[in-house]
Structure formats: structure tokens, C-alpha cells
Amino acid sequence: MTRMPTTNTPKAATADDAARIGGVLARAFEDDPMMRWFFPDGATRDAGLARYFATLFTRQYVRHGVCEHTASAAAFWVPPGAQDKAVPDAETVQELVELLGDRAALFQQATAAAAGQGPQEPHWYLAVIGADPAAQGQGQGAALLRSGLARADADGLPVHLESSKPSNLPVYEHFGFTVLGEVRLPGGGPTLWSMRREGRRPPQA
């Protein structure tokens, strides 16, 4: 069996990784329709996205979720029992207001709309996953996705996510996700696709 390269091995992220993970995800989401909607100014988008992801990571997901990274990719998961943390809390939103400026209200509306698409039963939520385009084809994002899916399968629980990038849908479908529906984000925002993967109990030894 071929050994997975060290750079592809998921590692638990800590608050000390915030700046590097923010940079990785900024590059990963530079062409994402929803992120471009939040940060329409191309001249400041990279810096804004880096701060945005670092803020969500340090204030929200590293505290309440399961965060992993590789050399050039990162993923934030919300476990069952912490689904209320999938929507940024009041303090996090307040910190993002200055960063988002006149897009802050749209951000709040969009996160509320996305939250309304989630299942009610216990599930794992894939909040964020992305890989630096420079590392495309190295399997780093796939390694993080498999790691999280294995955790959900160990619990026998489904996984929920949303994506605003049409080209990502076949990738998720390859990993067993199906599209449940789509919603047009308020304020003239892009389309958001809601996706689900059923839990798969691992075979008994």
C-alpha cells in the first residue's frame, strides 16, 4: 500500500495556526462566488478573506468544532450537539462588521439562510474546506474530507454542507453527497446548494 505523503496527513489545528490557515483559505476561496459577493473589491479581497477566515477560525470553529489542516489545505467541521455554533455568534458577527463594511448585513442574512437549510436530526456539518490552488492535484483537500467523513461514519451520522461553487458539486458527489436543493441568497447573492451524505457505519471487525 502506498504511504500517503506527510503533507497530506491531516493534523489538528490550534489557535496558533490562525494566520497560516487564513492565508490558505483566502487563496482557496478567491474565486468562490459567495466570497466574491462578500468581498467585491478585487484589490482588497485577499487580505479581507485572510482576516475573515482567521476570525471565524479563532472565534468560532477552533473553540467549538473540529479543525484540521495539511500543508496547504484546511477544514472546519461542526460536530453533532454543537450545531448552534454553525452560525456565527453575536460576538463573532460584531468582529466581522468592521471587516465586511457595507456587506455585513448581507453576510448575516446569508448565514441565516444557509442555517435554515440544515437538517434537524444529529449530523456533522462541514462548514469550510479548501486547498491552496498551488497545491491542486496533490490530494490535500481530499485527505481532509476523508478524515472528516470517517469521523461521521464512526458515529453513523449524515454530513451536511453548502456550496456556492458549481464546479465543486461533482467533487462532493464523488464522495457520496447528493444535492438536496438550492437557495438564492438574499440581496442578489449567488445560489447556494445544500448537500447531504448519509452516514455509513464502518464494517464490524
In this predicted structure, what is the pLDDT of residue 5? 46
Radius of gyration of the chain (CA): 16
CA distance 202 to 95: 41
> SS3 breakdown of the chain: % helix, strand, coil, rounded to 5?
50, 20, 30
Q: Which helix (H) or strand (E) holds 144?
A: helix 140-155
In this predicted structure, what is the pLDDT of residue 109? 79
What are the angstrom distances between the C-alpha of 126 and each of 57, 99, 103, 142, 197?
13, 24, 24, 13, 11
In this predicted structure, what is the pLDDT of residue 110? 78
pLDDT < 50 positions in the chain = 1-6
Domains and CATH numbers, the chain: 13-197 (3.40.630.30)
> How do residues 76-131 score in pLDDT, each as one tens digit?
999 998 777 666 777 887 888 889 888 888 887 777 777 666 777 899 999 999 99
In this predicted structure, what is the pLDDT of residue 6? 47
In this predicted structure, what is the pLDDT of residue 4? 42
